[in-house]
Structure 1
């Protein structure tokens, strides 16, 4: 934040990387299995088999408000809230989970990220350009790849993710078991838990997030999706073989944004002046400045326009205060915007000139540092 503006709303603290974040989940499970080279930061109980369930979009504050619809989740042992990665979006948090590294070390810095080598925007979840190698883009080893040298490491997910760039970048290693539908995936997860051998199973659940984006987390559709999740988890945890544990977490939470609060900032000339490229997501906008623009001057312009509805900070401020983790790789940080605009109120900011109007239909949103977006559960059975 600019020190010249003491009236600006204070930016929430950085994620607790190394102790209480999603980056510690998979590594803690590996350590609890006895895999060498990992630290059990979450003090998980020892076991022969661990299932790590990642429920996309299940923020702990959302779960707290809807717990009556999820008795299985409600009955689990809670290890307290964890922090999602910054920004609070799938590509970043899954990268932290999959590598155990911070954003400043794995370099997955948003939904849309600028590739400095080509000066273009690359979507981290979508179709990566053919000349961007996932193994070169993300330099850290993965937990699954390291664990597979000692235990049976398995990913259970939708078949469409098996060869995705994101999977190859941050979740490579071990075996991939694809299954369509939540109950089929639950059954396939149970099949991987063979008694007599140590195993680490990563189980990805994306249905809740998809429903939230389409209808909002306060919708009946979202509650039905939560009930489906709870039912499948009941089936999973009641059929576990002996000496097998499950830990469930999420990559981010969500807020609902009304249509009138989904705003096209690209239509405001004073906000776009000096901006070379835009990236990020609607609640965590990244602005890449041209050579003649001072990031702090651009920061002041955006703050003056949106006031207390947003937090605005330069990349230098965020890096210095730990939002990308300690000792971020300066080369990887070239991918990050020079100025970040983080939604404080329930708004979403779009560059329609780049993205078009289709994303404006999205109800559930995330990426910023509000409590509903940043806090995720850590539940153990």
Structure 2
């Protein structure tokens, strides 16, 4: 652990996500149980049903929605009954969507962040969109999805999303199984979702909206553009729900929240040599940096880099070794083969700050306002609305 005389964040490091009880990982297993599929628990207590619509609004955090309920007239009256779920860790799309679809904690499925280490080849893999051609998604993430299990038991499964995601590596690794229905605009996704249900007696349909996340990244949560997008999606979701058959269970959630980071706090840590001395690979996300030391780097050098981070940014970030993060339970139980995908040292933002390796990222990355990936409440909690159509 770190020297108590070094700077530390004012807020205590948060507890681990409530895996098995109240995270994104529990949504689809509970839905599967409600659909009558054997082998799944129902920690969310969903009532039996023949149809489940899962609506994922990328970037819909609990804190952000609570502060902007005036811009969500459909969701506002439902908010009092909404459940507050954890995203899992890190609070990032590749991990959250994997946890949702597979019904397992990150340490079980191995989709452990935005950028992770491929230990066999000592390289960084971007799990959201930068997969190398020689990396097989089915080998990288071997667990079956809930969609695959549902289909085995006669439930029609479908994903309604943007065409570019139909055969992406992330889809093949962690969201595989459903029939993919491509629809470009939010309104057409709503219509396509309703059409799937109209044609099926028993169905599990996942509908994805990424517009709110894009607005947050580009303009920030505290922006007219983000609020306008929330209003538009609220209306689209209202329309979608109104078109669903009677007695359809509707589950509306998000994959992470967001923190607005001012330009002055978007730090290029590669300009500070003491922070990367002996470091071979940098991964994670700007609010959850992971550093992998070169093979053979001794304990003294590792401790020196950790202390340098602690002195420079210890008041604004929680700094943990991989072993400490795993012991604290942030990833859930981690399968041994997945441990090397994590960095040796983790810098987890506690304040409105983000850290970049300027040698590796594009200059436009520094323009991102809304960010996520760390442990703060603004990033790690999302709503779950459970609604039954009349």
Q: TM over 0.5, yes or no?
A: yes
Is 1:8 the counterpart of 2:14? The answer is: no
Specify whether residues 296 and 104 from structure 1 end up closer, same or farther in structure 2 by C-alpha distance, changes over 3 A only. farther
The match for 2:356 is: 350
C-alpha RMSD over aligned residues: 1.5
Q: Hey, what's the Cα distance between the residues in 2 that align with 1:91 and 1:145? A: 19
The match for 2:164 is: 160
Is 1:319 the counterpart of 2:334? The answer is: no
Q: Hey, what's the Cα distance between the residues in 1 that align with 2:6 and 2:357? A: 29
Is 1:101 the counterpart of 2:104? The answer is: yes
The match for 1:41 is: 43
Of 207, 213, 217, which residue of structure 2 is paired with 1:209? 213
The match for 2:69 is: 67
The match for 1:359 is: 365
Aligned length: 380
Of 127, 147, 151, which residue of structure 2 is paired with 1:148? 151
Of 134, 140, 148, which residue of structure 2 is paired with 1:131? 134
Specify whether residues 211 and 329 from structure 1 end up closer, same or farther in structure 2 by C-alpha distance, changes over 3 A only. same
Deviation, structure 1 residue 80: 2.0
The match for 1:194 is: 198
Where does 1:198-237 land on structure 2 (aligned, <5 Å)?
198-237=202-241
Of 51, 54, 63, which residue of structure 1 is paired with 2:53? 51
Q: Hey, what's the Cα distance between the residues in 1 that align with 2:65 and 2:355? A: 26
The match for 1:249 is: 253
Deviation, structure 1 residue 236: 1.5
Specify whether residues 3 and 28 from structure 1 end up closer, same or farther in structure 2 by C-alpha distance, changes over 3 A only. farther
- SS of the aligned residue for 1:101 comes to coil
Deviation, structure 1 residue 249: 1.0
Deviation, structure 1 residue 54: 1.0
| C-alpha distance after superposition, 1:228-270 (max 9, x if no partner) | 1100111112222111010111110001111111110000011
Of 326, 341, 344, which residue of structure 2 is paired with 1:338? 344
Where does 1:252-331 land on structure 2 (aligned, <5 Å)?
252-290=256-294, 291-294=296-299, 295-326=302-333, 328-331=334-337
Specify whether residues 362 and 315 from structure 1 end up closer, same or farther in structure 2 by C-alpha distance, changes over 3 A only. same
| TM-score of the two chains, using structure 2 as the length reference | 0.94
Unmatched tracts of structure 1, length 5 or more:
none
| TM-score of the two chains, using structure 1 as the length reference | 0.96
Specify whether residues 297 and 11 from structure 1 end up closer, same or farther in structure 2 by C-alpha distance, changes over 3 A only. farther
- SS of the aligned residue for 1:81 comes to strand
| C-alpha distance after superposition, 1:89-143 (max 9, x if no partner) | 0001111001011111111111111111111111111131110000000121111
Unmatched tracts of structure 2, length 5 or more:
none
The match for 1:80 is: 83
Deviation, structure 1 residue 174: 2.5
Q: Hey, what's the Cα distance between the residues in 2 that align with 1:307 and 1:172? A: 40
The answer (yes or no) to whether the contact 2:108–2:335 under 8 Å persists in 1 is: yes
The match for 1:118 is: 121
- SS of the aligned residue for 2:315 comes to helix
Q: Hey, what's the Cα distance between the residues in 2 that align with 1:5 and 1:286? A: 24
Deviation, structure 1 residue 296: 4.2
- SS of the aligned residue for 1:369 comes to coil
- SS of the aligned residue for 1:57 comes to coil
